[in-house]
A and B are shown apart, each in its own frame.
Chain A
Amino acid sequence: MKKTVDVSIPLGPMHPCWKEPVRLKCETAGERVLRAEVELGYMKKGIERIMRGRPWQEVMFLAERVCGICSVIHNMVFIETMETISDIAVPPRAAYLRVIANELDRVASHILANFSYCYTIEHETLAMYLLNTREIVLDNLERLTGSRINTAYMIPGGVRFDLLPEDATAMLADLAKVEAEMRRHTRIFETGPLIALRSKGVGVMSREEAIRAHTVGPTARASGVEDCDLRLRHPTYRELGFTQVTRTEGDNFARIMVRFQEIFQSIDLIRKCIDRLPDGPIRGGGLCKAGETSYAGEAPRGELTYSIKTDEYGRVLDIAIRTPSVMNIEACAHSMITDATSIADVTSTFISSDPCIACNER
């Protein structure tokens, strides 16, 4: 990229605020940040190259290891793509169980994102409260799927484990606890005067910029982009009556608040699922066939697209994954951080867009 001034402040690759290595080179004039450049390559594992030519049984496990934070949705979108290719129907009970696993993962991911933001603006008390609440959510994910992070819960034509009635009761009790705690944390965040000073009006991204860079997920919703939640088009979510959360400010505060609001929405969705859970089998049958398709689902960070081409034995011939972080990090670095008034706001603005470098580079 072209340089306008010669003072460039590098942030990273090892930085106390960043969970994953990435390097931001900020060109500054005094305190003002003129532009920022992102240097990646620290997490490039070439997972799409590994996936090529392998049977779906192997690619299924590789797909969740694209990203550990949102592994459930990577699994779900890959499996649903394979089901679309080979016309496999899912039993209704399995479809509801998938939504439960996915929403639990979304709650955990959103809490982690908000934890990182609070940690970055040095509100360590709230950060630790949030991290402790996340453990309860992960306990429930473990209760349902048997694992905390990489769950491998879904398979073509169903899910692996059933939700027992006593587990459902325990899950509902835990969700009530999570909801009560999150109400308190949201109040702390919403009314904190110092948090407002660090967050309101910082890192503003307009609706036009959000559309130009194709931002997705909470980052786009905080800038007032309507109809950008793919859960609105998913058949199971439609049955559950899902509505999108949108805010119009487009600053750091809005992005974090959208996540807080979505956590409550997800908890409501899980409750509805457990309430309406139909009886029946959790696994249908099916055979993976040849075909080519592109399918998208809503990850915690936004729209996740898998384009897969398979042969008649179910081997993946070609695959392209477009993760939400690709768009969000790019928009964050090139429109939110540009013309930031202070270099001190760069880290918090970058974290507020919930960057996931492992997703971004694959």
Chain B
Amino acid sequence: MNYLYEKDLRQMKYTILTSTRHDETVHAIARRLGTGDAKLRMVLIRRFDMSLLENLESRWQMGQEHADNGDPVAEGIGYELFTRFIPLVDPEVMQTIYNKMQAMIQEGSAIDEALARGKALVREAVLS
């Protein structure tokens, strides 16, 4: 259906994401997730509205300071960072991933192994 007044915003969102500070932030998030810049930009443009894109930099900064203090497992996968500060993953999906990792650690696998598995699952959830 062709909505009156609705316009394709992708070009404008791309313009926001390619200014100096936003480009750095996108690069930092992509490195944290282990994906490419262009792929992450595509996801961001599809999921976020324009004001959230403008605020990406300060949310990322506050996330680095305040999210997941203390719990190494949660910090490793960005439990609060990617659900509440930068809402790329649904809270329920994140909770499932977190529970899965806790189960793996309970069963006796190394924390590094569990973290690698968890990060892969988060990346999958972000890019889906």
Contact = CB atoms under 8 A, between A and B. Distances in A.
Direct contact of A and B (CB under 8 A): yes
Interface of A: 1-2, 10, 37-41, 44, 46, 48-49, 211-214, 307, 318-320, 322, 326-327, 329-330, 333-334, 360-361
A287 to B, nearest CB: 26
Contacts of B48: 1
Nearest to B11: A41
Contacts, number: 72
B103 to A, nearest CB: 28
Interface of B is mostly: helix
Top 5 closest A-B pairs, CB basis?
A38-B51, A214-B58, A330-B55, A40-B50, A41-B12
Interface residues of B, number: 24
Nearest to A319: B20
B47 A2 contact: yes
Given A211-B66, A320-B19, A320-B21, A38 B55 contact: no
B44 to A, nearest CB: 11
A192 B100 CA distance: 55
B42 interface: no
A236 to B, nearest CB: 26
Given A44-B12, A214-B55, A320-B21, A39 B62 contact: no
A330 B51 contact: yes
Interface of B: 5, 9, 12, 15-16, 19-21, 47-52, 54-55, 57-59, 61-62, 66, 84-85
Given A214-B59, A326-B58, 14 more contacts: A1-B47, A37-B49, A40-B54, A211-B62, A211-B66, A213-B55, A320-B20, A320-B21, A326-B54, A326-B55, A333-B51, A334-B51, A334-B52, A361-B54
B58 to A, nearest CB: 4
Contacts of B84: 212
Contacts of B19: 48-49, 320
Nearest to B63: A212
